[in-house]
């Protein structure tokens, strides 16, 4: 009986932590979306909206009426935004967040995260198809084509990391920087894989130049054309949480550094023997790394490029990025064979 009670208490604590991380993920996502919009505006010579605009957008959407088209499949139309949001929220529980270990450590790995990454795109496509709109149908088709295109470079990167660390465990992979586990050949290989993942990030987030599924000037909003009110608000939140998730995944895989491992910032012990000063600095450093990744992979790319045609976007991931990822993986494997 005591084992059952301990198990229940353990899962109760985990559930509360997942809820807390979900709320923080939504807050940070909205905050960083505001920064992204402000930074992008400055790069384009515009004033842009205030950094708090995403919070105002969400408040407005959740106050508006939710309209379901007569041509829609109601249950699927309403369920799609929920699944699109839940998947990245759950995924955050499997990632190390700054100095904190994954909440669900030992219950999943890199393969599970790849599946969770795909769910929002599938949910958006199903929601668009369920709306019954021809514009949304075209947008859904484009979303599925794009997803099938960037999933291959993602899978190749996962294979390279698993080969190097001999595990798919996120906790094990993020326990030490990947750059310190290989020599010169492996460094070049992982640099190529990292470049591939940076190229995949705007596609995962449906950002310019990979926003063909929405394409307001062509499809009037694409797969979101019939969404409004609460449902559109859920998709909005899902987008910002996925941005935090993808950025955090890149940090865990390639930049799991903590300033407290090099310097001590003092203070009383507050968490697993960590000093308060170290904890605060490591959290701030994690948020800074996340902001830099979003700036480089989303903001700069969005300003530098115009929207690709869907066939060119698909070709970009299927050919150049896949080839670069394969070459990087072969270099990592060559490094491993040289070590043997």
Give how far Cα 143 sits from Cα of 12, 71, 232, Å. Answer: 37, 21, 17
Distance CA 308, CA 209 (A): 5
Q: Give the domain extent around 33.
A: 2-339
Q: What is the pLDDT of residue 221?
A: 66
Question: Quick one: pLDDT at residue 196?
Answer: 95
Separation between Cα atoms, residue 126 and residue 72, nearest integer Å: 11
User: Bridge-partner residues for 275, per DSSP?
Assistant: 269
321: its two tokens? 């990025």
Q: How many CB atoms sit inside 10 A of residue 207's CB?
A: 21
Q: Shortest CA distance to 138 belongs to which of 220, 36, 65? A: 220
**Measured at the alpha carbon of residue 76, what is the angle toward residues 16 and 224, in degrees to the nearest 5?**
90
DSSP letters spanning 268-318? -EEETTEEHHHHHHHHHHHHHHHHHHHIIIIIHHHHH-PPPPHHHHHHHII
Residue 170's contacts (CB-CB under 8 Å, 6 or more residues apart) are 94, 95, 96, 102, 105, 108, 109, 110, 113, 252
Q: What's the total number of domains in the chain?
A: 1
Q: Is the dihedral of CA 41, 140, 55, 29 positive or negative?
A: negative
**Cβ contacts of 262 within 8 Å, gap of 6 or more:** none
Q: Give the relative orientation of helices 229-254 and 110-131 as an angle to the nearest 10 degrees.
A: 160
CB 308 within 8 A of CB 209: yes
Q: Are 328 and 160 in contact (CB under 8 A)?
A: yes
Q: Is-above-0.85 flag for pTM?
A: yes
From first to last of its 340 residues, what are the pLDDT tens digits of the chain? 566 777 777 778 888 988 999 999 999 999 999 999 999 999 988 888 999 999 999 999 999 999 999 889 999 999 999 999 999 999 999 999 988 888 887 766 888 999 999 999 999 999 999 998 888 888 899 999 999 999 999 999 999 999 998 888 888 888 888 998 888 899 999 999 999 999 999 999 988 888 888 877 666 667 888 999 999 999 999 999 999 999 999 999 999 988 887 877 777 777 777 778 888 899 999 999 999 999 999 999 988 888 888 899 999 999 999 999 999 999 999 987 765 5
Cα–Cα distance for residue pair 57/159, rounded to 1 Å: 39
**How many helices (H) and strands (E) would you count in the chain?**
13, 2
For residue 234, count CB atoms less than 10 angstroms from its CB and return exposed for 0-12, middle for 13-18, buried for 19 or more. buried
pLDDT at 315: 94
Q: Are 71 and 132 in contact (CB under 8 A)?
A: yes
In 3D space, the residue among 174, 193, 218, 187 whose CA is nearest the CA of residue 309 turns out to be 218
Question: How buried is residue 99: exposed, middle or buried, by Cβ count under 10 Å (0-12/13-18/19+)?
Answer: buried
What is the distance between the alpha carbons of residues 94 and 273, in angstroms, rounded to a whole number?
22
- pLDDT, position 168: 87
Peptide bond into 209 cis (omega under 30): yes
């Amino acid at each position: 009986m005591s084992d059952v009670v301990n198990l229940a208490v353990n899962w109760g604590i985990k559930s509360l932590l997942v809820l807390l991380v979900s709320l923080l993920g939504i807050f940070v996502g909205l905050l960083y979306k505001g920064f992204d919009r402000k930074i992008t505006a400055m790069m384009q010579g515009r004033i842009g909206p205030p950094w708090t605009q995403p919070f105002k957008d969400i408040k407005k959407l959740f106050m508006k009426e939710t309209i379901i088209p007569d041509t829609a499949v109601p249950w699927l139309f309403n369920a799609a935004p929920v699944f699109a949001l839940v998947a990245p929220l759950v995924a955050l529980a499997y990632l190390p967040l700054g100095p904190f270990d994954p909440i669900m450590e030992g219950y999943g790995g890199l393969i599970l995260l790849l599946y969770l990454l795909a769910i929002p795109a599938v949910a958006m496509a199903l929601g668009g198809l369920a709306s019954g709109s021809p514009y949304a149908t075209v947008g859904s088709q484009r979303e599925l084509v794009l997803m099938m295109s960037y999933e291959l470079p993602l899978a190749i990167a996962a294979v390279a990391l698993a080969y190097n660390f001999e595990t798919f465990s996120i906790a094990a992979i993020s326990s030490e920087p990947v750059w310190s586990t290989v020599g010169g050949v492996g460094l070049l290989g992982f640099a190529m894989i990292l470049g591939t993942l940076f190229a995949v990030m705007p596609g995962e987030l449906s950002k310019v130049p990979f926003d063909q599924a929405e394409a307001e000037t062509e499809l009037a909003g694409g797969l979101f054309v019939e969404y409004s009110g609460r449902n559109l608000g859920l998709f909005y939140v899902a987008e910002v949480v996925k941005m935090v998730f993808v950025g955090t995944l890149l940090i865990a895989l390639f930049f799991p550094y903590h300033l407290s491992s090099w310097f001590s910032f003092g203070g009383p012990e507050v968490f697993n023997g960590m000093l308060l000063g170290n904890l605060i600095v490591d959290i701030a450093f994690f948020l800074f790394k996340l902001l830099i990744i979003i700036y480089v992979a989303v903001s700069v790319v969005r300003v530098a490029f115009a929207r690709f045609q869907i066939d060119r976007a698909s070709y970009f991931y299927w050919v150049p990025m896949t080839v670069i990822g394969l070459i990087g993986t072969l270099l990592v494997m060559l490094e491993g064979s040289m070590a043997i």
